[in-house]
Structure 1
Amino acid sequence: MRVLIVEDDPRIAQAIAEALRDQHYVVEIAGDGRLGLDFAEAGAFEIIILDLTLPYLDGVSLCRQLRQQGMTTPILMLTARDASEHKVLGLDAGADDYVIKPFDLPELLARIRALLRRKTVAPTAILTWENLQLDPQYCQVTYHGIPLLLTPTEYRILELFLRQGSRVLSRSVILERVWEFEEMPGEETVKVHLRSLRQKLKQVGASPHFIENIYGLGYRLNPNL
């Protein structure tokens, strides 16, 4: 899952980002409102964490612009102000929830999970394909009940495929959804990680064609297993 953090305090932004990366989220950081707007309009994010007070474009205005464009991505507002009028401003602009600074990271992560659950019909749904199961709540993957020990990148790739069903994903789409912009490698890296992921799936009994290569287009989960 991809998360956008729009926060001008680098210490706060990095602390949130590290906590999210530990839970296999892909995180992008924008240090001001204008850059945050550019990121939000250009990328597909599952949730946006938005500071109220930002340079160039404040959080309320940014939130309002995104909602006026029809964007339904959950927005969690961060504010150092405890006054009720500031909370009301954020919520009226379209924010889904707010957290007051200073905050505890476990509480913030719980609020994020709650918003993501609210976004989906089946909040704790386990993702399945054939005999494979991925539990997003606990970041656990099994095949026929046998645990798969995946790297964070392999986990994110597999989760992406499971959420897309049999849709074909190009290497560029996989790069965009799995890697962060600042660390994005070349497309050859996708082949390397897919090779390792297929090998691990094969070791627990899955078909070597569990992830299918569609020549010239990309990859997908094989619907004909």
Structure 2
Amino acid sequence: MYGKGKWWLQNVQSQSINPDYLSIPITGVKEKFIDRKTDYTLSYSHRDADISSLYSRLAVAYHDEVSHVMDTFTKRTALFSGLEIKPSYGIHTEAELQMSIWIAASLRKKMELARTAGVNIVLAAMAEPALTIVGHEHCIYYAYPRSDLAGSGDGSRSEGGVHVLASGLVLRTDSVRGVFQLLQLYRNLLEYGMDKGDDGYWGRFLGRVLEGLASGRRG
């Protein structure tokens, strides 16, 4: 209703995250990547004429791998946010973990894209929302890069800390008021992700980066 044909709610439950962008726990033992996939993500739709044209130009410039997953199609699709969904008896902390791993990997990939494009971005401009849904409860989080947090520490492309912060906002679908509040929330989220203005995610960050890559820039 609010996506204007530019969004696709994509099921990514069966898609693996590229290990280059995964988190590694600090355990003092043999390194092991934490690979927990999320349920859904919002992708910038190939069916939209402008976005499809951008993907074509990215392919010509040999910069078409723009997301953090291994799937042949999805890795060539720009992604936004993530939703981890569990039934009412699901474990909320598990949903948080899966969502956090997904959105952190996504931001590491986007940091890499920005470096490759040679686009200087204020880290706060990369703040990206993500959600967990457990039963009736919808919880909102914000993820953003932190230069003072360690990454994998091995010099790989995944190096870079990401902080995931709970907003404290919990909305529910078991009341009429809650449903309308959620409709407003999701409308704002979709508009923010596609907003080409200076305050929008596309205008101040992702669009700039992808257009830079499509023009053939290399950092």
TM-score, length-scaled by structure 1 = 0.31
Bigger relative contact order, structure 1 or 2 (CA pairs below 8 A, ≥6 apart):
2
Q: Which has the higher helix share?
A: 1
User: Normalised by the size of structure 2, how large is the TM-score?
Assistant: 0.32
Which structure has the larger Rg over C-alpha atoms? Answer: 1
